[in-house]
Amino acid sequence: MVTAAADTLEGAVRPAPALSTGTIDIALLGLGRVGSAVARAVLDTPSSGSARLRITGALIRYPERRRDVRLPASCLLTDAAEIFARRPRVVVEVLGGIEPARTLVRQALESGIPVVTANKSLVAAHGDELRRIAARSGAPFLCEATVIAGVPFLGTLSRRPRAAAVTCIRGIVNGTSNYLLTQMTATRTLAAALAEAARLGLSEPDPRNDVLGVDAAEKLSVLLQHLGWGRVAPHALDVRGIDGVQASDIDAARDLGGVIKPVILAERSVDAVTAFVGPAFVPLTDRLASVDGSENALALRNGYGELFYSGPGAGPQATAATVLDDVFEAATADGGRLESRSDAPRLSAIEPGAPVTAWFVRLTAAEKLPPAADIADLLGSFGIWLQRSSSLPATRQDACGFLTLPVERARLDSAIGALTAAARCHASVYRALEG
Amino acid sequence: MVTAAADTLEGAVRPAPALSTGTIDIALLGLGRVGSAVARAVLDTPSSGSARLRITGALIRYPERRRDVRLPASCLLTDAAEIFARRPRVVVEVLGGIEPARTLVRQALESGIPVVTANKSLVAAHGDELRRIAARSGAPFLCEATVIAGVPFLGTLSRRPRAAAVTCIRGIVNGTSNYLLTQMTATRTLAAALAEAARLGLSEPDPRNDVLGVDAAEKLSVLLQHLGWGRVAPHALDVRGIDGVQASDIDAARDLGGVIKPVILAERSVDAVTAFVGPAFVPLTDRLASVDGSENALALRNGYGELFYSGPGAGPQATAATVLDDVFEAATADGGRLESRSDAPRLSAIEPGAPVTAWFVRLTAAEKLPPAADIADLLGSFGIWLQRSSSLPATRQDACGFLTLPVERARLDSAIGALTAAARCHASVYRALEG
C-alpha cells in the first residue's frame, strides 16, 4: 500500500526543471486543514485532465506532526526559501493569519509568481497593498475562496464593471454562527449549541472569530475592496457577535414573522457608506431567512437588479476546489489583469457611518410591562414609530417584541434608555432588514 | 437639445483611425429592443470610466423605422460589409434568430474579431461550431447574457473546471412562463394571464417560445454546452409547454405542499444524461418554489455542494449591462482562452434519456372518483407507490391529487391509462422535484 502510494506520488515530487506545458507546479504554504485538502485534491486529480497539477513543496511548521495526506518527506519543508527555489508556477497560501503569510505572499508576488490565497484575515488587512504589488509585477493575486468559499463570484465581478456597480450588500457569510443560531431554537443556549457543533466537527477548535463576528467582518472587508468601495479595517466596522443572542429573542422574532440571522450589511450612497456585521432580524419573506446551517449567501444590488449567490460557505473540500480553480486561472490567465481593477489604484480608506434602519426590540420585565399603548406613546415622544408589535396572550405581560420604522440608532438608544428606566425592564435590540 | 445631443455624440460616431488605448469600438448587429438598450447604455457611459465605449456602426434592417436611441444617421447601416470595414474591436450580435446572425458571427470570428452575443437560439443551435472557429482564430466568443441575462456565471464556469464539474442542473430560466403560472392562481386562465402580461409589457409580442418551452430549452442547450456535457438540439430535449396547465392543477399542487413551476432539469451519471423542460411540481421547501415573476434561478450540483444563482432573467437593461461587461472582457482579455475549453474540442451529441422521477398526478372525474384505497390498489398493481395524496373534503369526490415515489414515465403512463379508463376520469401528470 505504501509502495503503491509512493509510486503514485513519484511524479508529484520530482523537483524537475522546465516542464511540458500543461503541468502546473504548486508550492503550498501551509498544510493544515485546508492545505491538506488542497494536497489531497491534487493527488486525486487524474493526470489525463486538461492541466496536470503537481505539488513541488509544502511549507510546514511542525515536521514531526502526523498528517493525513500522503506527500513524501522530500516535499515537506520548513524553509520558505527552499520552497521558492523550486520555482513553482503558482504559490498557494493557506497558512492563515497575517505573518508570515504577508511576507511570503509579498515575496512571491514581487518575484512575479502568481499567488492564490484562502486567507481572509490577510486580504482584509493587506489586500490593497498586495493587489498593488501584484499589479506592478504582473503576477495574478487570487482569493476567490475568501468569501463564500464554494461559490466563484469575486473574480467574475472584478472583470465585469457593470455587474460590480453594487450599491447594497446583504449576506450571511459565516456558516458557524448561522448554524449556532439555527440550533439555539432547540438547545436554548449558545453554549449547548457550541458543544453540539464541536461534537459534529462543524466549528473551529477556537470558534471565537465566528461567534464574535470577526470572520464575517473580514469577509465584508474583502468584499468592499473587491467592489471598489474602499479600504476599511475589519475592526473599524460596526461588528457585534452572536454571544448576546437569547433563545427567547429568536422566539420573539418568530412571533413577528422573522428570524435572527448573523448578517453582513452595507449600503453605499453618493457620499456615505454604512456597514454592519452581526445578528439581525430577517423577515421570513427575505430569502436570507431560509439560508440555513453552513450555507452562505450574498445578495448584491446593482443598477439593474439583485444578484443572489449561495452555496457551501466553508469546509476543506469546497475551499480546496475553489483554490485549485484559482490556481488553474492564475496559471493560464493573462497575468496581472486578473483581480487588478485598472492597475489597482490605492483604495481610499472608508469610514462607515450609522445607517437609518428599522429595529427589532424585545422587552422583558421581572414582573409586568406597561400597557402596549403606553410603550408606544413613550417611544412616539422620541419620534420612534412602530410598524408591528407582537400580540401576547393576556396571561403573559412580562415580555413583548416590536419592529420600529427606520430611525437612526442614537435616537433609538435614547428612547430605549428612557423606556427601560421608566418601565424597569430590559431591552434586546437588533437591526431589522426591510421586509 | 438636438444640438447638445449631437455634441455629446460627435466622439461616438467619428469613424476615426487608430485610437488611444482605452477606447473600445463596437459594431452592433441589430438595433431592436436589446440593441437599442446596448446603444443607450454606451451613450450614457461617462467617458471618464476605465474604458471608453464607442459605437462605430449599427446594422439595421429598416432604415425608415423610428428608434428611441440617438445614434446619428451615419451610424445606421444596412450593409454588414460596411460595418466590418469600420474595423470594430468587438462585434455585438443582438439580431436574434439564426440567419443572418450565424453568417455574420462566423465572418467576424474568422477575421479574428471578438463577438459578444445575447442570442440563445444561435448559441443553442451553432454554439459548438462558433466556439471552435473562435478557438482557431483566437477571437473570444462570449454569450453570458444567453442564460439568466443579468447574472454572470457562464464565463466563470468556463474558466473553473472544478466548480463546473456539475452533475445536476435545476432551474427556472424563463421569466415569462414563470410569471404566467404565478398569475394564473388569480386570473384562472392562461389566456387572461397572457393578456395581463402583455398589458404590463412583460411578455414578447409573440410569447409562443416562452409558453411552449422553446426559450427554456435553448437555454438548457447552451448550459449543457458550457458545462461540457455535450451537444443537444433543443428540439431533441423532452420539452413541454405550460399551455396545458390548469389553474386547478396549481391549486391541487398547493394542497400537496408544492407549486407548479416552469423548470429545466438535467442529470448526468456515468453513462447517461436525462433532461427535461416544462412545468413541474416543486415542493415549497425547494428554493426554486419561491422564485417568482421575471426572476431566474439556477441550482448546479457539483462535487462539493450546490451553487445557487438567481437574479434578473431578462429585460433590455440587464441584458445590455451583461453584454457590455462581455464587451469589456472580450476587449481586455487574453483572446481565445475565454470560453474555449481546452481548444474547444467538438462536443459529442447527447441523447437525453428518460429519468426515473417522482410524479404529481391530478385526477378529475365528471361525477365521482373511486375511493382513494381503490386508486392506490390499482396503481400498486403497476408497481406505482404513493408518497402523499391530498385529503379532499368528504363533499368533494370529483378530484384528487397525489405524489408518486420515483418511477419511469412509461410505467406511470400504463398505470394512468388503466386508471383513467377504469375510473372514467381525466389525469394531469407533472414531473415532481424531490422534496
The shortest CB-CB distance from B312 to any of A49, A305, A337 is to A305
> What pLDDT, in 10s, does the model give residues B302-358?
999 999 999 999 889 999 999 999 999 998 865 434 444 445 667 787 777 777 899
The shortest CB-CB distance from A162 to any of B160, B302, B321 is to B321
Does the annotation mark B219 as catalytic?
A: yes
| B20 inside 8 A of chain A by CB | no
- One-letter amino acid identity for B227? L
Count how many pairs of residues, chain A against chain B, have C-beta atoms within 8 Å.
124
Statement: residue A5 has pLDDT above 70: no
Please give the backbone phi and psi of residue B266, each rounded to the nearest 5 degrees, phi first: -155, 140
Decide if B328 and A50 are in contact by the 8 Å CB cutoff: no
Strand partners, A349: A231
The pTM (predicted TM-score) of the whole model is 0.89
- One-letter amino acid identity for B142? L
Q: Which of A57, A110, A108 is nearest to A79 (CA)?
A: A57
Decide if A50 and B341 are in contact by the 8 Å CB cutoff: yes
Q: In what order do the strands lie in the sheet with B90-93?
A: B76-77, B52-59, B23-29, B90-93, B115-117, B141-142
Decide if B152 and A163 are in contact by the 8 Å CB cutoff: yes
Find the catalytic residue in A120, A219, A261, A368: A219
Higher pLDDT, A18 or B113: B113
pLDDT of residue A391: 66
Minimal C-alpha gap between B11 and chain A (Å): 22
> What pLDDT, in 10s, does the model give residues A229-270?
988 888 888 999 999 999 999 999 999 999 999 999 999 988
C-alpha cell at A194: 457550541
Q: How many CB atoms lie within 10 A of CB B20?
A: 6
Mean pLDDT, residues B146-151 taken together: 96
Q: Which of B71, B87, B117 is nearest to B25 (CA)?
A: B87
pLDDT of residue A398: 86
Most confident of A64-73, A376-385, B42-51: A376-385
H or E element that contains A321: helix A316-332
Q: Tell me whether residue A153 is exposed, middle or buried, using C-beta atoms within 10 angstroms of its C-beta: 0 to 12, 13 to 18, 19 or more.
A: buried
d(CA B422, CA A424): 72
Nearest residue of B to residue A294, measured between CA atoms: B305
CA B33 to chain centre: 17
d(CA A365, CA B427): 59
| A199 inside 8 A of chain B by CB | no
Higher pLDDT, A293 or B430: B430
Nearest residue of B to residue A290, measured between CA atoms: B287
Residues from chain B that touch A334, judged by Cβ atoms under 8 A, are 333-334, 337
Local confidence band at B63 (pLDDT 50, 70, 90 cut-offs)? confident
Nearest residue of A to residue B297, measured between CA atoms: A308
Please give the backbone phi and psi of residue A85, each rounded to the nearest 5 degrees, phi first: -65, -25
C-alpha cell at A64: 514531526
Statement: residue B1 has pLDDT above 60: no
> What pLDDT, in 10s, does the model give residues B211-259?
999 999 999 999 999 998 988 888 888 999 999 999 999 999 999 999 9
Statement: residue A17 has pLDDT above 60: no
| B162 inside 8 A of chain A by CB | yes
Higher pLDDT, B389 or B31: B31
| A228 inside 8 A of chain B by CB | no
Q: How far is CA B284 from CA A25, A290, B361, B407, in A?
A: 47, 12, 17, 22
Q: Which residues of B92-126 are buried (b: 16+ CB within 10 A; e: fewer)?
A: bbbbbeeebbbebbbbbbeeebbbbbbbbbbbbbb
The shortest CB-CB distance from A309 to any of B157, B309, B341 is to B309
Strands, E assignment, B48-134: 52-59, 76-77, 90-93, 115-117
| B161 inside 8 A of chain A by CB | yes
Minimal C-alpha gap between B302 and chain A (Å): 10
Q: How far is CA B221 from CA B235, B236, B243, B263, B431, in A?
A: 10, 10, 22, 14, 20
| A382 inside 8 A of chain B by CB | no
Q: Which of A229, A246, A271, A261 is nearest to A127 (CA)?
A: A229
Local confidence band at A325 (pLDDT 50, 70, 90 cut-offs)? very high
Mean pLDDT, residues A87-101 taken together: 96
Decide if B325 and A163 are in contact by the 8 Å CB cutoff: yes
| A159 inside 8 A of chain B by CB | yes
| DSSP code string of A63-129 | TTS--SS---GGGEES-HHHHHHT--SEEEE---SSTTHHHHHHHHHHTT--EEE--HHHHHHHHHH
Q: In chain A, positions 249-308, which contact chain B (CB-CB < 8 Å)? A: 287, 290, 297, 302-308
Percentage above 70 pLDDT, chain B: 89
Residues from chain A that touch B160, judged by Cβ atoms under 8 A, are 152, 325, 328-329
Least confident of A1-5, A172-176, A315-319, B373-377: A1-5
pLDDT of residue A231: 87
Percentage above 70 pLDDT, chain A: 89
Q: Which of B27, B6, B23, B7 is nearest to B72 (CA)?
A: B6
Which of B295, B304, B340 to mutate against chain A (most A CBs within 10 Å)?
B304
| B151 inside 8 A of chain A by CB | yes
Determine how β-strand B90-93 pairs with β-strand B115-117. parallel
Q: Give residues with Cβ within 8 angstroms of B420, minimum separation 6.
A: B363, B426, B427
Mean pLDDT, residues B287-316 taken together: 93
pLDDT of residue B202: 79
Local confidence band at A67 (pLDDT 50, 70, 90 cut-offs)? confident
The shortest CB-CB distance from A328 to any of B160, B308, B325 is to B160
Residues from chain B that touch A333, judged by Cβ atoms under 8 A, are 159, 334, 337
Q: Tell me whether residue B430 is exposed, middle or buried, using C-beta atoms within 10 angstroms of its C-beta: 0 to 12, 13 to 18, 19 or more.
A: buried
CA B337 to chain centre: 25
The shortest CB-CB distance from A305 to any of B150, B163, B328 is to B150
H or E element that contains A158: helix A154-159
Residues from chain B that touch A290, judged by Cβ atoms under 8 A, are 287, 290
Minimal C-alpha gap between A397 and chain B (Å): 35
Statement: residue A200 has pLDDT above 90: no
Determine how β-strand B273-283 pairs with β-strand B258-268. antiparallel
Residues from chain B that touch A305, judged by Cβ atoms under 8 A, are 150, 311-312, 315, 318
pLDDT of residue B103: 98
B100 upstream amide cis, omega within 30 of 0: yes
- One-letter amino acid identity for B388? R
Minimal C-alpha gap between A94 and chain B (Å): 19
Q: Where would I find the H helices in B271-346?
A: 316-332
Residues from chain B that touch A303, judged by Cβ atoms under 8 A, are 317, 321
Q: DSSP assignment, residue B335?
A: G
| A150 inside 8 A of chain B by CB | yes
Nearest residue of B to residue A327, measured between CA atoms: B160
Decide if A328 and B159 are in contact by the 8 Å CB cutoff: yes
Minimal C-alpha gap between B60 and chain A (Å): 26
A100 upstream amide cis, omega within 30 of 0: yes
Q: Give residues with Cβ within 8 angstroms of B290, minimum separation 6.
A: A287, A290, B284
ipTM for the predicted complex comes to 0.88
Residues from chain A that touch B322, judged by Cβ atoms under 8 A, are 162-163
pLDDT of residue A203: 80
Q: In chain A, positions 335-364, which contact chain B (CB-CB < 8 Å)? A: 337, 341-342
- One-letter amino acid identity for B80? A
> What pLDDT, in 10s, does the model give residues A332-367?
865 434 444 445 667 787 777 777 899 999 999 988
pLDDT of residue B345: 66
Decide if A161 and B325 are in contact by the 8 Å CB cutoff: yes
The shortest CB-CB distance from B160 to any of A302, A329, A342 is to A329
Q: Which of A408, A370, A413 is nearest to A389 (CA)?
A: A370
Minimal C-alpha gap between B275 and chain A (Å): 23
